[in-house]
C-alpha cells in the first residue's frame, strides 16, 4: 500500500511539473559551484531536438505574450508624409516549457550578430502601421535573450520605427495630434497567440521635440477582425500638442505687421495715388507670398485650416484698404461731373481776399506762406483752407480746380499772414455763398471715409483676433482617427 501511494504521488508530481504548475528545477539539487562546462552542456541539451517552428503548447491554450516598451526618443513628426518616427526598446515575455533547465540562475546566451529566432521559437510580432522598421546592429545585434529555469523567455531588442499617423490639420497651428503604434501577430490568431500589456507598459526617456509637446500616453488591448480571422492587437497612443511660439514668430506676427503697414495709406492724402496704391499692392503681394510658403510645408488637404482663415482675413483687410481708396476717388470724380467748376470758382473768388489760399503742385503748401512763386500748370490744384479758430469756423480740405480757370494775376498777389484771415461761420457761408458751401460739403465726404476707416479697420481686426484665438484654442482637440 505504501509503495502504491509513493508511485502515485511521484507520478502526480511529474504531471504537475509538465503542466508548469510546479517548476521542474525544484526537484534538482544544485551544486554550489557552477562550472562553464555545465552551462555549455545545458545549452546544448536545450537546443538538441528543439523545433523552433512550433509554438509552445501548440495543441493547448494560446500562448500569452506579455509586452512593454521604452521609447528612447521621438523623431520627426512629418505632416507632409503623414508619419512619425520613434526609437524604442521592445520587450516580450512568454513561457516555453521546452526550455526549462536546472541551472541556478538565468541563462543569457550571447547571440552576437544572430537573433533569437535563429535558435528558438519567438512570436511573429509586427508593427501594424509601420512604413519602415529596422533593428540596430552596431556593434552587435541589439538583442537580449534570457531563459529562466522555469522556462520563461525574455526577449528584448532595440528598433526604429517610422509609422503612419493621420494628421488632422483643421486647427493648424493650434492643433493636437494623436499618433498610435499598433502591435500584432503576423500569422497567429487569438486561438494560438494572445498579447497583453505588462504593468507600466510604456515608458518615455526623452520627451523633447522641436515643435511638439507630449501631453498624453494611452495603451489599449483590443481584438481586431481581419480577413484571416481575429487577432490580438496592442495599441500605444501618443498625444502631441504643437508649440505655438514658432508659428507666432513666423506666421502671425508678420501678418499683423503687414496689415498694419497697409493702413498707413489711410493717413496719406487722397491725391497721393501712387503711394496709396503702391502700399496696398505691395502688402497684398507680401501676404500672398507668406501664405504660399506656409502651405508648401503642409500636405495638400481638401479642408480649410485655421491658418488659412487667418491669412484670408489678413488678405481681406488689406484688400479693403484698396476698396476704400477706390470709393474715395469715385466720390471726387462724381463731384466733378456734378458741379460746374466755373460756378464753384465764382463763389470761391469772392472770398479769395478774405481767406488764405494755398497752391499745390504735386504737394500741399502751408497756408501761411507769404508768396507763391510756383507757376500755374495744367495739373495744379488749388487748396483752399480755412484755419479752424473756433467752434463756428469750418475747414475746406481741398478742391480740384484747374489753373486755366484762375487768372495769373491772382497767383501774383501778396497774401497776408494768418492773423488777417477773416473767419466765417458755417451759417454765414451757407447764406451768402450756397455753391461754395455745397462744394465744401461734397469734398468733405471723401475725408470722412478716410477718418472712419482709420478707426473702423483696426477695431474690426482686433475683434477678429479675439474671436479667432478664443475659438481655435478651445477647438484644439486630438485627432482620434
Q: What φ, ψ does residue 381 adopt, rounded to 5°?
A: -115, 145
- Please state the domain count of the chain: 2
- CATH at 110: 2.70.170.10
- Confirm if 221 and 196 have CB atoms less than 8 A apart: yes
Whether 97 maps to a domain, the answer reads yes
Same-domain check for residues 189 and 264: no
Range of the domain at 278: 246-336+465-475
- Residue 244 in 3-state DSSP? coil
Q: Take residue 21 and report the three cell numbers written for it.
A: 504548475
Whether 258 and 238 share a structural domain: no
Q: Is 450 contained in some domain?
A: no
CA nearest neighbour of 228 among 260, 186, 193: 186
Question: Looking at the structure, do residues 258 and 235 belong to the same domain, yes or no?
Answer: no
Tell which of 242, 262, 280 closes a domain. Answer: 242
70 and 181 fall within a common domain: yes
Helices and strands in the chain, H and E counts: 10, 12
pLDDT in tens, the chain (481 residues): 545 554 555 555 555 544 544 444 434 444 446 677 888 888 888 899 899 999 998 988 999 999 999 999 998 899 989 999 999 999 999 999 999 998 888 998 887 778 889 889 999 999 999 999 998 888 888 899 999 999 999 999 999 999 999 999 999 999 999 999 999 999 999 999 999 999 889 999 988 888 899 999 999 999 999 988 999 999 999 999 999 999 999 999 999 999 999 999 988 877 788 899 999 999 999 999 999 999 998 998 989 999 999 999 999 999 999 998 888 877 655 554 444 444 444 445 544 434 434 333 333 333 333 333 333 333 333 333 333 333 333 333 334 433 333 333 333 333 333 333 244 455 555 565 565 556 555 555 557 788 889 999 999 999 999 999 999 887 655 554 4
Task: Kindly state the DSSP code that residue 118 receives in the 8-state scheme.
Answer: G
Per-residue model confidence (pLDDT) at position 14: 52
Strand segments, DSSP code E, in 363-469 are 381-384
Q: What is the pLDDT of residue 11?
A: 56
Contacts of 1 (CB under 8 A, 6+ apart): none
Question: Under 8 Å CB-to-CB from 356, ≥6 apart: which residues?
Answer: 367, 368, 385, 386, 387, 415, 416, 418, 421
Does one domain contain both 123 and 261? Answer: no
Q: Return the pLDDT at 440.
A: 58
Are 225 and 256 members of one domain?
no
**Same structural domain, 141 and 77:** yes
Residue tagged 534538482 (cell numbers):
28
**Angle, helices 306-338/253-262, rounded to nearest 10 degrees:** 0
Q: Are residues 155 and 185 in the same domain?
A: yes
Residue 460, domain member (yes or no): no
Ranges of beta strands (E only) in 142-272 are: 143-147, 152-164, 176-185, 193-204, 212-226, 229-242
Residue 27 lies in a domain: no
Amino acid at each position: 500500500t505504501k509503495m502504491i501511494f509513493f508511485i502515485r504521488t511521484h507520478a502526480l508530481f511529474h504531471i504537475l511539473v509538465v503542466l508548469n504548475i510546479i517548476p521542474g528545477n525544484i526537484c534538482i539539487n544544485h551544486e554550489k559551484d557552477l562550472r562553464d562546462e555545465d552551462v555549455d552542456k545545458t545549452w546544448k541539451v536545450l537546443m538538441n531536438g528543439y523545433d523552433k517552428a512550433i509554438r509552445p503548447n501548440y495543441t493547448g491554450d494560446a500562448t500569452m505574450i506579455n509586452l512593454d516598451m521604452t521609447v528612447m526618443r521621438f523623431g520627426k513628426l512629418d505632416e507632409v508624409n503623414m508619419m512619425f518616427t520613434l526609437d524604442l526598446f521592445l520587450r516580450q515575455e512568454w513561457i516555453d516549457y521546452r526550455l526549462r533547465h536546472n541551472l541556478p540562475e538565468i541563462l543569457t546566451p550571447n547571440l552576437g550578430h544572430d537573433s533569437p529566432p535563429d535558435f528558438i521559437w519567438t512570436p511573429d510580432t509586427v508593427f501594424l502601421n509601420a512604413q519602415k522598421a529596422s533593428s540596430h546592429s552596431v556593434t552587435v545585434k541589439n538583442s537580449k535573450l534570457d531563459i529562466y529555469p522555469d522556462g520563461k523567455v525574455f526577449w528584448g531588442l532595440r528598433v526604429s520605427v517610422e509609422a503612419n499617423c493621420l494628421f488632422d490639420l483643421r486647427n493648424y497651428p493650434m492643433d493636437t495630434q494623436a499618433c498610435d503604434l499598433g502591435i500584432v501577430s503576423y500569422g497567429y490568431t487569438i486561438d494560438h497567440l494572445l498579447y497583453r500589456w505588462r504593468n507600466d507598459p510604456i515608458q518615455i526617456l526623452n520627451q523633447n521635440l522641436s515643435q511638439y509637446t507630449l501631453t498624453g500616453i494611452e495603451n489599449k488591448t483590443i481584438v481586431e477582425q481581419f480577413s484571416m480571422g481575429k487577432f490580438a492587437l496592442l495599441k500605444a497612443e501618443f498625444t502631441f500638442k504643437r508649440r505655438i511660439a514658432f508659428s507666432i514668430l513666423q506666421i502671425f506676427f508678420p501678418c499683423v505687421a503687414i496689415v498694419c503697414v497697409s493702413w498707413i495709406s489711410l493717413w496719406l492724402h487722397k491725391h497721393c495715388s501712387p503711394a496709396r496704391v503702391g502700399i496696398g499692392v505691395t502688402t497684398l503681394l507680401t501676404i500672398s507670398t507668406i501664405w504660399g510658403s506656409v502651405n508648401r510645408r503642409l500636405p495638400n488637404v481638401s479642408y480649410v485650416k485655421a491658418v488659412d482663415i487667418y491669412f484670408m482675413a489678413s488678405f481681406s483687410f488689406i484688400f479693403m484698404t484698396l476698396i476704400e481708396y477706390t470709393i474715395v476717388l469715385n466720390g471726387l470724380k462724381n463731384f466733378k461731373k456734378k458741379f460746374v467748376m466755373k460756378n464753384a470758382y465764382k463763389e470761391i473768388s469772392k472770398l479769395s481776399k478774405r481767406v488764405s489760399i494755398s497752391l499745390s503742385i504735386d504737394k500741399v503748401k502751408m497756408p501761411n506762406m507769404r508768396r507763391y512763386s510756383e507757376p500755374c500748370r495744367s495739373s495744379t490744384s488749388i487748396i483752399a483752407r480755412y484755419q479752424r479758430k473756433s467752434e463756428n469756423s469750418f475747414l475746406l480740405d481741398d478742391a480740384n480746380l484747374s489753373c486755366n480757370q484762375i487768372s495769373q494775376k491772382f497767383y501774383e498777389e501778396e497774401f497776408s499772414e494768418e492773423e488777417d484771415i477773416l473767419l466765417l461761420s458755417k451759417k454765414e457761408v451757407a447764406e451768402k455763398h450756397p455753391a461754395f458751401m455745397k462744394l465744401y460739403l461734397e469734398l468733405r465726404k471723401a475725408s470722412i471715409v478716410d477718418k472712419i476707416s482709420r478707426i473702423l479697420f483696426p477695431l474690426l481686426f482686433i475683434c477678429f483676433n479675439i474671436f479667432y484665438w478664443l475659438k481655435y484654442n478651445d477647438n484644439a482637440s486630438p485627432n482620434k482617427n
